[in-house]
Each structure stands twice: as structure tokens, then as C-alpha cells.
């Protein structure tokens, strides 16, 4: 029998809300928390005006579409019944950064050369941080850069950036308001350095970091296969998509819906999203570009995880800051319309605004062989299976040879046209 969270998710996606009351084991619904984006006035601004932030700083993307949010949990439901519709619950939010933004913040804090546009963005970011008491989350930046420092112990950029962000907690706001171009800090440098070093050392070998590095590698494999299938130009886009679905399920052991949604968007409209520009344009450094894109997609997956990190009757609303317009574009394309979390089963479902049409396409393009593996037993087995990292590296090594051959061939073909 399907878990209640799976049943509810499917019914909501399909617009069958009148059937929610008839789910099996409804008592299990008490373990479910939901966040739904809405334009209805009944939604809350949660102390942070999503519209105001995106208007002032379009390079800041709320993970939830908004503009208002509806929250539900067992505690909220009980409070609503007892108070006639009023409830209190714990809510947390923070800014996460990509490595580019983190580097600009580091340069600003250390009074290094920085172009006026980026400097003004950093200043705007700090003003919003103060106004809404927003925290900063370094994990996305560190995920992308810690692997570099592990292979090159002389690379102090990640540590120096951690120091800079720690310093922001001691910013002299009165001096900042008088002259934001020369930030001043009220802190003991030795204590700050020790705190930053402790934070850095605790994460360099952290299992969580290595887990996300694995996820990035997994995504690289799928992007490489997508590129190979597209460059071969065999069959219709539906047939190409079917081939990629088979690759994910039959070779990697996962129905990778998140990565497959990106792939379908590209196959359906290759020129629509600038994020896929390196593939559509068959750039000379295509393999390098695809690896960077995999990390960008991993950042999005991390935001999903961050949005579920609190438990039971509390909620977390992440924001992502990126000065990269191409990445900001895909962030906005993937803002969540809905999040369901089952705290007991440690299971979650997310939906973007185009989720249901995509799932319909996924189903229609699935081969019979793959469809035969979509039963509940097989699906649960896939949830607990992770292909060994060495197998992924072996696949990538073979893919790289074929991808570079096809890319070179395509570039020659385009030059002759």
C-alpha cells in the first residue's frame, strides 16, 4: 500500500482534492507537513515579503514561488480548530550563495577591488539581511569548493570566504549606513579566525559534503548521457527522452525525476533556456561546462533538502543568491509550488508549476521494459539503492570519449553549413 504522503501528493497534482478524505490510513497524515505557494490572501508573508525582495534584488530567488505561502501541520490544524483560524509555528529562513557571490562578498569585506555593479549588489544583500534578520548558509558554496581545497592544500579561498562571512556577524551597522563602501567590523580577529577555522575543519571531511559530491557526480552522468543522445540525433525527441529514461532506470537504478525534468525541457525546446547554452551551442569545453551545470543542479537539490531540514511543526524557507543570470533563470523555472514532507518516513515530494504535465510526459515516454519496473516493490528498492561511486566514474570515463567525439563531429558539421 502506498504511503499516505504519496497518495496525497498524487491527488493534489491531479486536482482530485475531493478524494483526499478517502485516502487509506488517514491517521498517518498527522506526520505530514506541507508548504503551498499561493496568491490567495489567506496565505502569509511569513515576515519576509517575497515580492519586495525579488523586486529590489532580482538576483535573489526564493525557493518557493509565492508570493504568499500556506503552511499546514498537525499542530497548525489543532490550533486553527481551537482559535478559529489562528496559529503559531516556528519558521526559519536564510540566504544561500553560489561560489561567485561568495567571492564577491569576500572581496567586499576585505576591501579588495570589486566592480561597482557587484559591490552595489553586495550592499543591497546586506541591507536585506539586516531588515529581515536573514541568516547566511555557507553549505552550497562550500560544497562546490571544499573538493578543490582537499586536492590542493594551498588553496585557501574556501577558508578565507568562511572568515569573511563570519565577519559579517560583527558588521558595524552605524558605520555601514554612513559609508557602505568601507565596511567596519567590531570583533576580535583571533577569536574570529579560530571560529572560522573550526567551522572549516569540521566540514572539509564531513560525510554530508561527500554525499552531495556523489549527487553531483550522479547528475553529471545523466547530463553526459543526455548530451550524447541529443548529439546522435536518432529518433524523435520523445524517443530520445525514452532512451534517457531507460538509461536512468536500467543502468543507474534510479527514476531520476529531477534530472529528467531538466532533460525534457531541453529536448523539447533546446534554445529556450540559457542554462543549456553550452550544449545547444556545442561549446569547445562542453564536458567542463556540463560538470559545472551538474553542480548548479545539485545546489537546487540542496535547497530542497534545506527546506525540509526542520521537523514536525516547524518550517524553513531558503533563498538562493546568484549573480549568474543563467543560473538565476533556472532557479526561477524551478521554484516550488508545493512541498510535502512526511517526518516519520523521512520522505518528501516537491512540485514545480509544470510538475503534472511533466509527469504525464514521463509516463507516456516510458518503455514497456522500464514500465514493468514501476511497481511499489521495485520503486522502494530503487529508493534504497545507490550505484557505487566507482561505477559512476567508469561510466563517465566511457561517456567522455564518446561525447568529445560527437561534439567535435557536430562542430565540424556546423562550420560547413
Instruction: Give SS3 for 34.
Output: strand
pTM: predicted TM-score of the whole model, two decimal places: 0.88
pLDDT at position 239, please? 98
pLDDT at position 49, please? 66
pLDDT at position 227, please? 98
Of the candidate ranges 164-173, 196-205, 246-255, 391-400, the one whose mean pLDDT is the lowest: 196-205
Read off the pLDDT of residues 358-413 as tens digits, 9 standing for 90 and up. 999 999 999 999 999 999 899 989 999 999 999 999 999 999 999 999 999 999 99
pLDDT at position 150, please? 63
Of the candidate ranges 64-73, 140-149, 244-253, 345-354, the one whose mean pLDDT is the lowest: 140-149
Percentage with pLDDT > 90 across the chain: 46
pLDDT at position 148, please? 62
How many angstroms separate the CA atoms of 417 and 282, rounded? 15
Report which of residues 347 and 141 the model is more confident about: 347
pLDDT surpassing 90 at residue 143? no
Q: Which of 143, 102, 121 is nearest to 59 (CA)?
A: 121
pLDDT surpassing 80 at residue 117? yes
Mean pLDDT calculated for residue range 122-131: 90
Please provide the average confidence, as pLDDT, over all residues in the chain: 87
Instruction: Read off the pLDDT band of 190 (50, 70, 90).
Output: confident
pLDDT surpassing 60 at residue 46? no
Q: Which of 236, 235, 234, 262 is nearest to 248 (CA)?
A: 262
Of the candidate ranges 125-134, 232-241, 308-317, the one whose mean pLDDT is the lowest: 308-317
Mean pLDDT calculated for residue range 164-193: 90
pLDDT surpassing 70 at residue 45? no
How many angstroms separate the CA atoms of 328 and 160, rounded? 25
Read off the pLDDT of residues 2-37 as tens digits, 9 standing for 90 and up. 889 999 999 988 888 888 888 888 888 888 988 888
300-331 burial, b at 16+ Cβ within 10 Å, e below that, comes to: bbbbbbbbbebeebebbbbbbbbbbebbbbbb
Highest mean pLDDT among 16-30, 46-60, 124-138, 173-187 belongs to 173-187
How many angstroms separate the CA atoms of 254 and 363, rounded? 15
pLDDT surpassing 80 at residue 147? no
Count, residues in the chain = 417
Read off the pLDDT of residues 296-309 as tens digits, 9 standing for 90 and up. 898 888 888 777 76
Percentage with pLDDT > 70 across the chain: 93
pLDDT at position 393, please? 97
Of the candidate ranges 54-58, 353-357, 397-401, the one whose mean pLDDT is the lowest: 54-58
Highest mean pLDDT among 79-93, 146-160, 268-282, 294-308 belongs to 268-282
pLDDT at position 203, please? 67
DSSP string, 84-153: TS----EEEEEEEE-HHHHHHHHHHHTT----HHHHHHHHHHHHHHHHHT-EEE-HHHHHHHHHHHHH-T
pLDDT surpassing 90 at residue 314? no
Report which of residues 298 and 246 the model is more confident about: 246
How many angstroms separate the CA atoms of 67 and 317, rounded? 13
Instruction: Give SS3 for 73.
Output: coil
Residues 6+ apart with CB under 8 A from 327: 98, 275, 296
Amino acid at each position: 500500500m502506498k504511503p499516505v504522503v504519496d497518495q496525497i501528493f498524487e491527488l493534489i497534482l491531479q486536482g482530485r482534492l475531493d478524494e483526499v478524505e478517502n485516502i487509506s490510513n488517514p491517521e498517518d497524515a498527522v506526520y505530514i507537513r506541507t508548504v503551498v505557494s499561493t496568491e490567495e490572501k489567506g496565505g502569509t508573508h511569513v515576515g519576509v515579503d517575497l515580492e519586495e525582495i525579488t523586486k529590489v534584488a532580482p538576483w535573489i530567488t526564493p525557493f518557493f514561488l509565492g508570493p504568499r505561502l500556506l503552511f499546514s501541520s498537525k499542530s497548525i490544524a489543532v490550533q486553527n480548530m481551537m482559535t478559529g483560524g489562528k496559529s503559531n509555528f516556528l519558521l526559519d529562513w536564510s540566504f544561500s550563495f553560489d561560489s561567485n557571490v561568495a567571492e564577491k562578498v569576500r572581496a567586499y569585506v576585505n576591501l579588495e577591488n570589486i566592480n561597482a555593479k557587484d559591490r552595489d549588489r553586495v550592499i543591497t544583500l546586506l541591507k536585506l539581511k539586516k531588515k529581515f534578520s536573514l541568516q547566511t548558509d555557507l553549505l552550497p558554496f562550500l560544497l562546490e569548493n571544499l573538493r578543490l581545497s582537499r586536492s590542493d592544500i594551498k588553496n585557501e579561498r574556501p577558508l578565507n570566504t568562511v572568515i569573511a562571512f563570519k565577519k559579517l556577524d560583527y558588521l558595524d551597522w552605524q558605520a555601514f549606513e554612513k559609508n557602505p563602501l568601507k565596511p567596519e567590523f567590531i570583533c576580535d580577529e583571533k577569536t574570529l579566525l579560530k571560529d572560522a577555522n573550526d567551522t572549516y575543519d569540521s566540514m572539509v571531511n564531513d560525510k554530508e559534503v561527500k554525499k552531495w559530491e556523489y549527487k553531483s557526480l550522479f547528475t553529471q552522468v545523466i547530463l553526459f548521457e543526455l548530451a550524447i543522445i541529443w548529439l546522435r540525433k536518432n529518433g524523435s525527441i520523445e524517443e530520445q527522452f525514452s532512451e534517457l529514461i531507460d538509461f536512468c532506470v536500467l543502468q543507474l537504478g534510479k527514476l531520476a525525476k529531477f534530472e529528467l525534468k531538466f532533460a525534457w525541457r531541453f529536448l523539447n525546446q533546446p534554445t529556450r533556456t540559457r542554462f543549456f547554452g553550452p550544449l545547444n551551442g556545442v561549446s569547445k569545453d562542453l564536458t567542463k561546462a556540463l560538470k559545472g551545470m551538474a553542480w548548479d543542479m545539485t545546489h537546487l537539490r540542496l535547497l530542497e533538502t534545506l527546506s525540509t531540514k526542520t521537523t514536525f511543526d516547524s518550517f524553513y524557507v531558503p533563498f538562493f543568491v546568484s549573480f549568474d543570470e543563467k543560473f538565476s533563470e533556472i532557479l526561477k523555472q524551478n521554484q516550488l509550488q508545493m512541498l510535502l514532507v512526511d517526518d516519520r518516513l523521512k520522505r518528501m515530494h516537491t512540485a514545480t508549476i509544470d510538475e503534472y504535465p511533466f509527469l504525464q510526459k514521463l509516463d507516456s515516454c516510458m518503455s514497456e521494459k522500464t514500465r514493468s519496473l514501476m511497481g511499489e516493490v521495485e520503486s522502494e528498492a530503487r529508493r534504497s539503492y545507490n550505484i557505487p561511486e566507482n561505477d559512476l566514474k567508469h561510466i563517465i570515463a566511457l561517456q567522455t570519449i564518446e561525447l568529445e567525439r560527437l561534439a567535435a563531429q557536430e562542430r565540424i558539421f556546423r562550420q560547413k553549413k
